[in-house]
Amino acid sequence: MNKRMNKPIQLTEVCLRDGSHVVAHQFTEQQVRNVARGLDEAGMHYIEVSHGDGLGGSTLQYGKSLVDEMTLIEAAVDECQNAKVAVLLIPGIGTVNELKQASELGARLVRVATHATEADVSAQHISKARELGMESLGFLMMAHSVSVEKLVEQAKLMESYGAEAVYVTDSAGALLPIEVRERIKALRNSLDIEVGFHAHNNLSVAVANTIAAIEEGATRIDGSVRCLGAGAGNTQTEVLLAVMERMGIDVGIDLYKMMDVAEEIVGPIIPGSQEIRKGSLVLGYAGVYSSFLLHAERAGKRFGIDPRDILVELGKMKVVGGQEDMILDVAAELAKNNKVRV
């Protein structure tokens, strides 16, 4: 049996990073402290904290943070007795300097995220994280948009740079369970490191997709409490834990405490219901990066057009994370050409 099959399942809670999109990056230090403390007491393994677009993301293009992310990282580290604080880094947005600073503040894991065809830009950051003594993982975004063969090719590159695991990242919430199985199985059969999975719930299959990934051998799994994540949110952590317990999978996290965190601590932070509405549904349908939703809604209001038309057009263009500036261009062009639905 391959050695990676013997690895225990490790959960990373992403509500304080992916969920940053939902609150327009306006988390307060006290909110982060409260959430991190609750998650730590429940037994969460990793808690990811950073701007929604990763280290260095607080810009006019991606959205300015209310509180500097380094302050939030330090606050989360201060609250955690057992859980490890993780960060996300997208090369081109975040730099080695921010990575080093996060490490000095106590972050113990980094996921280096690239588009599914651009793993080559992750080499410096993956290797630097290893030098800093951090766990260094690869994160292949928009995994639905490339062939299984291409995904394997790119995952192998990340492995060669020193990544200790590579994630299949369903950034658009566009994958179906059978497609998740194909990708996880292919990576498991091709890599000598762990395989992870990160889902979005835009087509209402995040939990099903995550279970499919686990059944195919993924051991690094993401969830967001109360679905606090971009689009319709990620795999809802407390729901996933309940399903896993029904399946006889014990990961050492207290289900009742996670329910309490979701209801009493995270729930009041959410500005609206994290349900699948027309905007997030179109994200999954069109295969568009989940964090684009709020930007598309704002552009639609500005130009007087349906945000769904913007998202569908972006899907046709196969835009990727980091191309948020294209949203206004597309909206302006649609309005100019009067291509909106009637």
- Residue 20 annotated as part of some ligand binding site: no
Measured from the Cβ of residue 270, the count of other Cβ atoms closer than 10 Å reads 16
Phi-psi region of 238 (alpha: psi -120 to 50; beta: other; left: phi over 0): alpha
Q: What integer pLDDT is reported at residue 341 of this predicted model?
A: 46
- Residue 198 annotated as part of some ligand binding site: yes
* Nearest partner of 165 among 117, 129, 209, judged by Cα: 129
What letter represents residue 203's amino acid? L
Q: What integer pLDDT is reported at residue 5 of this predicted model?
A: 52
Would you list the domain boundaries of the chain?
3-269, 291-337
Helix axes 278-286, 292-303, angle to 10 degrees: 110
* Nearest partner of 87 among 78, 322, 97, 98, judged by Cα: 98
- Residue 17 annotated as part of some ligand binding site: yes
Given a contact cutoff of 8 angstroms between Cβ atoms, the answer to whether 220 and 194 are in contact is yes
> Consecutive 10-residue runs of the chain (342 residues): their mean pLDDT?
68 98 96 98 98 95 94 98 98 96 98 97 98 98 96 98 98 96 98 98 97 98 97 96 97 98 96 87 88 87 92 87 82 79 40
- Residue 289 annotated as part of some ligand binding site: yes
Q: What integer pLDDT is reported at residue 143 of this predicted model?
A: 96
Q: What integer pLDDT is reported at residue 211 of this predicted model?
A: 98
- Residue 18 annotated as part of some ligand binding site: yes
Number of H helices, E strands in the chain: 13, 8
- Residue 200 annotated as part of some ligand binding site: yes
Q: What integer pLDDT is reported at residue 164 of this predicted model?
A: 98
Give me 137's structure tokens: 């993982």
Q: What is the DSSP-derived secondary structure letter of residue 1?
A: -
The enclosing H or E element of 88 equals strand 84-89
Given a contact cutoff of 8 angstroms between Cβ atoms, the answer to whether 312 and 334 are in contact is no
Given a contact cutoff of 8 angstroms between Cβ atoms, the answer to whether 89 and 111 are in contact is yes
Q: What integer pLDDT is reported at residue 289 of this predicted model?
A: 80
Q: What integer pLDDT is reported at residue 334 of this predicted model?
A: 92
* Nearest partner of 290 among 305, 270, 311, judged by Cα: 311
Question: Topology of 3-269 in CATH?
Answer: TIM Barrel (3.20.20)
Spatial separation of the C-alpha atoms in residues 315 and 303, rounded to whole Å: 19
Task: List residues with catalytic annotation.
Answer: 21
Q: What does the DSSP assignment read for 161-207?
A: HT-SEEEEE-TTS---HHHHHHHHHHHHHH-SSEEEEE-B-TTS-HH
What letter represents residue 215's amino acid? E
Phi-psi region of 322 (alpha: psi -120 to 50; beta: other; left: phi over 0): left
Spatial separation of the C-alpha atoms in residues 247 and 240, rounded to whole Å: 11
The tokens 């809802």 sit on which residue? Answer: 236
Helix, coil or strand: residue 47:
strand
**Domain 291-337 architecture:** Orthogonal Bundle (1.10)
